[in-house]
Amino acid sequence: MTKRIHVSTELNGDAVDFLCDPRETLLDCLRDHLGAMGAKEGCGTGDCGACSVTLDGRLVCSCLVLGVEAEGKQIGTVEGMADGESLHPLQRKFIEHAALQCGICTPGILVAAKNLLERNPDPSETEVRYWLAGNLCRCTGYDKIVRAVMDAATEMREAS
Amino acid sequence: MNYHTPETFEDAAAIAARAAGTTRFLAGGTDVLVQLRSDLVTPDDLIDIKHIPAAKAITRTGDGGWRIGAAVSGAEMTENAALCADWPGLVEGMDLIGSTQVQGRATLVGNLCNGSPAADGVPGLIAAGCTVTVIGPKGSREVAVEEIPAGPGKTSLAKGEVITGVTIPARGQHGGDAYLRFIPRTEMDIAVVGCAVNLRLDGDTVTEARVVLGAVAPTVRLVPEAGEAILGTTLEAAALDRLAEAASAACQPIDDKRGTIEFRTHVAGVLARRAAKIAHARAKGGTA
Amino acid sequence: MALDGPKTAYKYIGTTPDRPDGLDKVTGRARYGADINVPGMLHGAVVRSPHAHARILKIDATKALAMEGVKAVVTRADFPDGLDGEDWNLQENCMAGEKALYDGHAVAAVAATSPLIARDAAKAIVVDYEPLPHVTDVDAAMAEGAPVIRDGAADFSVPEGMHPNVVRYFESGRGELEKGFAEADLVIEKSFTTEAAHQGYIEPQACLGQMGADGRGEMWVTTQGHWFVRRMSAAILGTEATGLRVTPSEIGGGFGGKTTVFIEPLSLALSRKAGGKPVKMVMTRGEVLRATGPTASASMDVKMGITKDGRITAASGTFRMQGGAFPGAPVDVTTMLAFGNYDIEHVHQVGYDVLANRPKQAAYRAPGAPMAAFATESVLDELCRKLGLDPIDTRLKNAAREGTRATFGPKYGPIGLVETLEAAKAHANYHAPLGPNQGRGVASGYWMNHGGETSASVAISEDGTVTVSIGTPDIGGSRASMALMAAEAFGVAYENVRVNISDTGALGVNEPTHGSRATFASGLATIRAAEDCITKLCKRAADKWGIDAEAVTWEDGCAKPSGPNAGEFPPMPIAEIAAEMGETGGPISGHFEDTPAGFSGSFGTHVVDVEVDPETGRTTILRYLVVQDAGKAIHPAYVEGQFQGGAVQGIGWTLNEEYIYGQDGRLQNAGFLDYRVPVASDLPMIDTVIVEVPNPGHPYGVRGVGETGITPPLPAIANAVREATGKRITDLPLRPSRVLAAIRDKGD
C-alpha cells in the first residue's frame, strides 16, 4: 500500500487538511476525506462536469485533479456558494425556474455558472450554452438552466 | 505511485531518467488522470511539473514571437489578448479541447505529448512552424513540433526527456492562421478531422502557406502539397478546389467509432477550404 | 363526500411554487446514492467479463483474498440455485453463472477496506475464459447459424422453426390488409433500424447494503422503486423480502434504468460474507454503459397505404428487437403502439424478441415506443410528401379520438391527440420561414401510461400541518406535485405540507416511479388519503358540535356545518381540530391503497426545424416545439421540464447516441466522451405547449407526462432532415457520416 500524503488546503475559505493516497482524485478527497458531498462523480473522466469545483478561482473538474495537487490551494465548491442563510442568486433562480429535476448535475452547474458570471456578468445565451457544454444534464434539456443563469445574471447586474 | 514535485526541469528530467517503472509527467492531467482512472496506465512515478516557475509562464521572445511554458493551461492562453491577436488559429485549436473545466487544466504541451493524431492543439503549432525545447540526460535541444508525434499514443521523446515549452515564431506582417475541426456535437468530442492553415499574403496573393491535418493519419500531418496548391493564388475557386483535393489526397485515415475513411477524407478537403478562407481574411486584417 | 368527475376550479393546482427539496439540491446537501459513508463500511468492486460470450472455466481469488484489507469475494457459487423465470434472469444478469453473456457481465465481486484496495483486488482475481462465438446485431442473431445464446429460452409463443435466439413472438391486428392496401392510392414500404440508446442518468448506480447471517438487512440505494429492489434482491439471495428494509436516496436520474437491480444484491452478498459489515458499491460510468440496461435495438419493416385525400387505409409492420442476452425487449409495446395514433381499419403487427450478446435491456422512457414511431411516422411523412399533403392535416384526418377503437384493441376515452395537432398547427414555429438546407419535420407519439400498486398515508401534525408519505421516489419534482395536490385537497397552504418518500418498512408495497405513474397514482393516492383524513377531521368536529358527521362538510381547511339541520357553528380550522386530537380520539391520519386503473395515455406532437451542412452532414436543431396533453398540469413548470427533457433525450438518440460494438463484440464507447448525449451548446430553447384534456380517472384530471416526449423526436427529426436534404434516412442515429453519405448518394 502506498504511503498516504498529508495535504493542507483551503475549502470554501476554511483551512482543512487530509491524508490521501496519491492516486486519489481531489473529488475522492473532498467526498471521502473532507465530507463535502456536493461535488458528484458522474463519469470520472472529465466528460460530465458534475464534479466541477474551482481551484484558485479556476473552474476545473475535481475528478481530473489529484488530491495531492490541492496542497496550498483554495478550493471552492457548491457548499460555499450561499452566504449564511441567503442563497446565491443562481441558487435562488435555479429553484424559481425549475432548472433542476433530479438535481445531480445542479451543484456542478451552479459552480460553473457562478464562475462564468464572475468573468462575464452579461453573457449571451450562446456564451452560457458553450460555457456549460461540459456540464451534462440529462433531465431538463438545458432550457430552464440557461434561462435561470440568464435571469440570475440580469438580477446581479441590476443589484451591482 | 510516487508523486514528485520538482522545481526545475533539470530535476524533473533527472527523476524520469532514474525511474525504473512507468513514468508520467503531470501538467494539466486531463489525459494522465483519465488513464489512471480507467486503469490504462498507473505510473510508478508521477512527476508534477507545475511547481517549476518557467512552466507556468507565457512570455514574449526577443524576436516578437512567444514562449508558452509546458504547464500553461488553455484558459491562460485564451485570456492572453495579444497572443490571440497574433495566432488566433493556434489558440483556437487549444481552446477547442474539452470543456471550460478541461481548459482550466489542459496544456498545449500535454496535448502534444499525449501523441493523439486527433490532438486539436497540435495542427496549429505545426502550421505556425513552432518548435519545442526538450531537456534530457544529454542536455537541451530545440525540435520542430512535427518531429514529436511518432504514431498514436507515441512520441519521439527518449526516456528522461521532458518538453519545457513551445516557441512560437513572430507573427510578422500580413499573416493569418485558422484551425477548424469536425465533431458530431458542438463541444466535448474528439476531432474526427482537424485542419490548420497558416498563410502569408502579398496583397491578396498567398506567398507562404502551411496546411496541417489532424485525425486522418497515424500522426498529425503537415501536407506540403496542400500548401503549394494555394501558393501564388488569391484563393479563387479553382485554387480552393486544388487545396481540397490535395488535403483529401493526403489522408490515410481509419474507420472507427468516430468516423469513416470516406467521411474523413471528404471532410478534410471541406475543412481545408474553410480554414484557408478564414486564415486569408485574418491575414488581410479581418477578424473572422 | 361526493366524488364526481375531475374538478375544474383550483386554488393550488396549476401554480408553480418552489419545490420542497429545492434548497437541499442547490446547496449540495441532498444525499444521493453514493453520498453516504458509515463507520466500518467496506467498499465493493466488480470483476467484469472482457468477452462478449465466453464459458467461465475457473475463478481464482486466492491472490485477491491474500491482499491486506480484502474482506470477501463472492461469485455465483454464493447465490442460491433453483430460481426460474425473471428471477433467474435477474440473478444471472447480476452475476454470471456458467457463461459470461456480454462484455461487462459481472463474474465476481470483492469487498475491501478502501475503494482503491477493492479496485486492485478486483484486478487480482484471475478468471479463465473459453471465448465463444458471439452476436450483437438483432438481424444477425435471428439468422441461420447464429451462435445460440441460451437454448430453451424461448416461450410458447415462438413459432416452430425460428432460431433459438428468438424467445418471444407477438402478433396482432384486425381487418383485411390486402383489401385495405387495395383501397390506397399510394402504398409505401420501408425498412428501418435504430441503435440501442442508454438512459444516461448522470448518477451511476450506487448503494450501501448490509446483511447479517440471519438474512436480515438494510439498504440505502438510488432507485426508482425500492420495493422492487427489496423483492428482486431477496429473490436473488434466497431471503425473505420483509427481512430487508430499503431506504431510497435522492435519485440522480433514472428514466427507467433504475427500476431493476445490478450491484444491490452483490453488496448484500458481500456484506453477509464479510460478517455483516455494510458494503458500499458505486458503479463507474464505464460499468454503467457496459453492464446496465440500455434500451433495445430494432430492425423494422413498415408498410402503409393512403388515399389521395389523406386517409390511411391499411398499415402493417414487422418489428425485431434485441434486448441483450435475456428475454424482455419491449417489442410487445412496440407492436401495440406502432399505429396507435390513428384510426385504421386494416392493421397488422408482428414482433420478435431476440437474444444477443449485449447487456440486459432495461426500461428507457416509453420503452419500445420511439422505435415504432420512427418507422411508422417516417412512412406516413413520406406518403404525405409524395402526395403533397400537409403532415398535420393528414394526421388530423386520421387521428384517434374519444371513441376510436385503438389499433391495439380497446376504445379510447377522452384523449388529446387532435388538440395537440391543432395547437402545433397554430404555433408560430409551424409557420417560421426556412432557409436553404433547412427543413421542418412533424411527428406525433403516444404513451399509454400506467397505474401500478400504490400506497400512501397522510398524517396531521399537532399544529394542523400535513405530512404526506408516498412510496414513489421523487426524480423530477414530484414532491412539489404531491404537496400541491394535498394542499388542494385539504385547503391548506402548500408550505404547510411536507412530503416524505417512505422506506419499505413504512408503507404497503409501491411500484416504482415508472410508467409515468407517480403524479397520477401517488397523486391519486395522496388525494384519496387526504379525503380519508378529512372524513375523520369532520367527525371530530361533528362530535364536538354534537351533530351527525354527515352534516359536516370540509372547505378551505375548515370543518363547517352544512345542511338545514346542522346548526350554527363557526368554521373549525384544521389547526384547532389538530390541537385537540389527543383528547378527541387520538392521532388523525388517512390511508389509501389501490392499483388504480383510471390512468389514461398522453399524446404529443412535435415540430422541429433543422439545418443540415451539405458538406459535412451535420444536423443542427434550429427550433423545437413540444405540444403534449397533460390532462391537468399540477405544477406546469415541471410538466414543461418533462416535455423538454424527453425531447432532448429523443434528439440525442436520433442524432448521435448509439451503442458501438467492435468485431470482438466489446463495447467501444463506454464513456460520455463517445457515448454522445446532447450538450447545452447543441440545442436551442425547447418551446412547449401544455394541452389539457382531463383524464376522468383522476380526481384532478392528471395524465402522466414523463414518457411520451421521447417518442416523436426520432421521426420528427428524420422528417426534417428529409426536407432539408431530399434524402429519407431509415437508420438511426443520423450521424454526420451517414447523412453525408446519403447526400452524396445520387439516388433517392
Contact A5 B38 (CB under 8 A): no
Please tell me the least confidently modeled range out of C3-17, C116-130, C156-170, C217-231: C3-17
Q: Does the pLDDT value for residue C29 go beyond 90?
A: yes
- Which whole number is the average pLDDT over C640-661? 98
- pLDDT for res B185: 98
Please tell me the least confidently modeled range out of B203-212, C67-76, C258-267, C566-575: C566-575
Q: Does the pLDDT value for residue C553 go beyond 70?
A: yes
Q: Which residues of B touch A132 (CB under 8 A)?
A: 100
Distance from CA of B19 to the nearest CA of A (A): 17
- Which whole number is the average pLDDT over B109-120? 97
Distance from CA of C119 to the nearest CA of B (A): 9
Q: Which residues of B touch A45 (CB under 8 A)?
A: 34, 37-38
Count of positions (residues) in chain B: 288
Judge if B21 and B145 occupy the same domain: yes
Contact C736 B262 (CB under 8 A): no
Interface test with A, best of C16, C24, C25, C26 (most A CBs within 10 A): C26
Q: Which residues of A touch C477 (CB under 8 A)?
A: 98, 101
Helix (H) or strand (E) holding B131: strand B131-136
C695: in domain: yes
Q: Cα C359–C364–C369 angle (5° rounding)?
A: 115
Contact B98 A134 (CB under 8 A): yes
Judge if B191 and B250 occupy the same domain: yes
C485: in domain: yes
Q: Does the pLDDT value for residue C3 go beyond 50?
A: no
DSSP 8-state symbol, C242:
G
B173 and chain C: CB distance < 8 Å anywhere?
Answer: no
Q: Return the partners of chain C (3 or more C-beta pairs < 8 Å).
A: A, B
Q: Does the pLDDT value for residue C8 go beyond 90?
A: no
Q: How many CA atoms lie within 13 A of C603 on its CB side?
A: 30
How many helices and strands in chain A, by DSSP H and E?
5, 5
Chain C residue with the nearest C-alpha to that of B263: C737
- pLDDT for res C2: 41
C4: in domain: no
Mean pLDDT, all residues of chain C? 97
B158: in domain: yes
Task: Convert the pLDDT of each residue in B46-79 to its tens digit.
Answer: 999 999 999 999 999 999 999 999 999 999 999 9
- pLDDT for res C1: 41
Q: Which residues pair with C661 in a beta bridge?
A: C667
> C54-60 and C126-131: which strand pairing?
antiparallel
The SS3 call for residue B239 is: helix
Q: Which residues of B touch C744 (CB under 8 A)?
A: 266
Q: Does the pLDDT value for residue B39 go beyond 90?
A: no
Domain final position from C594, C617, C645: C594
Instruction: List the beta strands (DSSP E) in C474-548.
Output: 497-501
Task: Convert the pLDDT of each residue in C199-231 to its tens digit.
Answer: 999 999 999 999 999 999 999 999 999 999 999
Q: Does the pLDDT value for residue B261 go beyond 60?
A: yes
Chain B residue with the nearest C-alpha to that of C678: B185
Considering only CB atoms, which residues of chain A are within 8 Å of chain B? 2, 5, 21-23, 25, 44-47, 49, 52, 55, 58-61, 63-66, 68-69, 112, 115-116, 130-135
The SS3 call for residue B71 is: coil
Judge if B189 and B158 occupy the same domain: no
Judge if C622 and C732 occupy the same domain: yes
B33 and chain A: CB distance < 8 Å anywhere?
Answer: yes
* Sheet containing strand C126-131, strands side by side: C99-100, C54-60, C126-131
- pLDDT for res C423: 98
- pLDDT for res B287: 55
Peptide bond into C733 cis (omega under 30): yes
Judge if B158 and B200 occupy the same domain: no
The SS3 call for residue A74 is: strand
Looking at C184-292, list the stretches that DSSP marks H as alpha helix, in order from N- to C-terminal side.
226-237, 264-273, 285-291
Interface test with C, best of B257, B260, B270 (most C CBs within 10 A): B257
Integer Cα distance of C224 and C501 in angstroms = 11
Q: Decide: C395 and C384 in contact? Cβ < 8 Å.
A: no
Closest CA to C33 of C208, C200, C198, C217: C208
**CATH code of B6's domain:** 3.30.465.10
Residue-range definition of the domain harbouring residue B207: 175-283
Residue-range definition of the domain harbouring residue C440: 368-449+600-744
The SS3 call for residue C233 is: helix
Contacts of C251 (CB under 8 A, 6+ apart): A102, C32, C33, C203, C222, C223, C224, C258, C473, C474, C475
For B173, the grid coordinates are 506582417
Judge if B229 and B135 occupy the same domain: no
Q: Which residues of B touch A135 (CB under 8 A)?
A: 99
Judge if B223 and B150 occupy the same domain: no
| Percentage of the residues of chain C whose pLDDT score is greater than 90 | 97
Integer Cα distance of A13 and B204 in angstroms = 56
Ramachandran class of C89: left when φ > 0, alpha when ψ lies in -120 to 50, beta otherwise: alpha
B219: in domain: yes
Helix (H) or strand (E) holding B110: helix B108-113
Integer Cα distance of B75 and B94 in angstroms = 9
Integer Cα distance of B61 and B168 in angstroms = 9
Q: Which residues of A touch C22 (CB under 8 A)?
A: 94-95, 100
Contact C674 B257 (CB under 8 A): yes
Rg (CA), chain A: 16
Of B189, B257, B262, the CB nearest to C668: B257
3-state helix, strand, coil in chain C (%, to 5): 30, 25, 45
Closest CA to C593 of C677, C509, C655: C509
| Partner C, chain B 216-255, Cβ-Cβ below 8 Å | none
b/e per residue A56-78 (b: at least 16 CB within 10 A): eebbbbbbbbbbbbbeebebbbb
Interface test with B, best of A2, A47, A60, A115 (most B CBs within 10 A): A60
Closest CA to B256 of B204, B207, B218, B210: B218
Chain A residue with the nearest C-alpha to that of C651: A141
Closest CA to B65 of B123, B124, B130, B140: B130
Q: Which residues of B touch A134 (CB under 8 A)?
A: 98-102, 187-188
Count of positions (residues) in chain C: 748
For C129, the grid coordinates are 475464459
Distance from CA of B246 to the nearest CA of A (A): 33
Q: Which residues of B touch C737 (CB under 8 A)?
A: 259-260, 262-263
* Sheet containing strand C558-561, strands side by side: C552-555, C558-561, C572-573
Distance from CA of C388 to the nearest CA of A (A): 33
Q: Which residues of A touch C116 (CB under 8 A)?
A: 21, 23-24
Report the amino acid identity of residue C265. P
B59 and chain C: CB distance < 8 Å anywhere?
Answer: no
Helix (H) or strand (E) holding B267: helix B261-283
C504: in domain: yes
Distance from CA of C235 to the nearest CA of A (A): 29
Mean pLDDT, all residues of chain B? 96
Q: How many CA atoms lie within 13 A of C537 on its CB side?
A: 36
For C417, the grid coordinates are 391527440
Distance from CA of A131 to the nearest CA of C (A): 8
Q: Which single residue is written with the C-alpha cell 436473488?
A: C236
C87: in domain: no
B262 and chain C: CB distance < 8 Å anywhere?
Answer: yes
ipTM field: 0.98
Judge if C626 and C681 occupy the same domain: yes
**CATH code of C713's domain:** 3.30.365.10
How many helices and strands in chain B, by DSSP H and E?
11, 14
What is the maximum span of chain A, computed from C-alpha positions, in angstroms? 55
Judge if B40 and B88 occupy the same domain: yes
How many helices and strands in chain C, by DSSP H and E?
20, 26
The SS3 call for residue C500 is: strand
Q: Which residues of C touch A126 (CB under 8 A)?
A: 681
Distance from CA of A79 to the nearest CA of B (A): 19
Q: Cα C96–C102–C103 angle (5° rounding)?
A: 110
Task: Convert the pLDDT of each residue in C39-98 to its tens digit.
Answer: 999 999 999 999 999 999 999 999 999 999 999 999 999 999 999 999 999 999 999 999
Integer Cα distance of C213 and C235 in angstroms = 16
Count of domains forming chain C = 2
- Which whole number is the average pLDDT over C450-465? 97
CA end-to-end distance (rounded Å), chain A: 53
Judge if C606 and C489 occupy the same domain: no
- pLDDT for res C14: 97
Q: Decide: C505 and C535 in contact? Cβ < 8 Å.
A: no
Integer Cα distance of C1 and B123 in angstroms = 76
Q: Which residues of B touch A25 (CB under 8 A)?
A: 33, 37
Integer Cα distance of A135 and A143 in angstroms = 13
Question: What is the CB neighbour count within 10 angstroms for residue C548?
Answer: 12
Q: Does the pLDDT value for residue C453 go beyond 60?
A: yes
The SS3 call for residue C290 is: helix
B288: in domain: no
Contacts of C220 (CB under 8 A, 6+ apart): C33, C36, C207, C208, C209, C247, C249
Integer Cα distance of C729 and C612 in angstroms = 13
CB pairs under 8 A between A and B: 89
Q: Return the partners of chain A (3 or more C-beta pairs < 8 Å).
A: B, C
- pLDDT for res C5: 55
Distance from CA of B258 to the nearest CA of C (A): 8
Of C28, C282, C685, the CB nearest to A37: C28
Q: Which residues of B touch C48 (CB under 8 A)?
A: none
Domain final position from C570, C594, C618: C594
- pLDDT for res C6: 59
> B2-4 and B45-48: which strand pairing?
parallel
Q: Decide: C193 and C299 in contact? Cβ < 8 Å.
A: yes
Q: Exposure of C403 by Cβ count < 10 A (0-12 exposed, 13-18 middle, 19+ buried)?
A: exposed
Judge if B105 and B190 occupy the same domain: no
Chain B residue with the nearest C-alpha to that of C656: B184
**What domains are defined for chain A?**
5-80 (3.10.20.30), 89-159 (1.10.150.120)
Contacts of A158 (CB under 8 A, 6+ apart): none
Judge if B192 and B150 occupy the same domain: no
Of A58, A116, A134, the CB nearest to B99: A134
B193: in domain: yes
Integer Cα distance of C95 and C83 in angstroms = 13
Judge if B201 and B109 occupy the same domain: no
Q: Which single residue is written with the C-alpha cell 467484469?
A: C48
pLDDT range class, residue A1, cuts 50, 70, 90 = low
**CATH code of B224's domain:** 3.30.390.50
Of B187, B257, B270, the CB nearest to C669: B257
Of B38, B186, B266, the CB nearest to C682: B186
Integer Cα distance of B23 and B29 in angstroms = 13
Judge if C465 and C437 occupy the same domain: no
Q: Decide: C552 and C561 in contact? Cβ < 8 Å.
A: yes
Contacts of B236 (CB under 8 A, 6+ apart): none
Contact C116 A40 (CB under 8 A): no
| Percentage of the residues of chain B whose pLDDT score is greater than 70 | 99
- Cα torsion C504, C509, C515, C517: sign: negative
Report the amino acid identity of residue C519. T
- Which whole number is the average pLDDT over B88-97? 98
Closest CA to A81 of C252, C28, B101, C22: C28
B41 and chain A: CB distance < 8 Å anywhere?
Answer: no
Count of domains forming chain B = 2
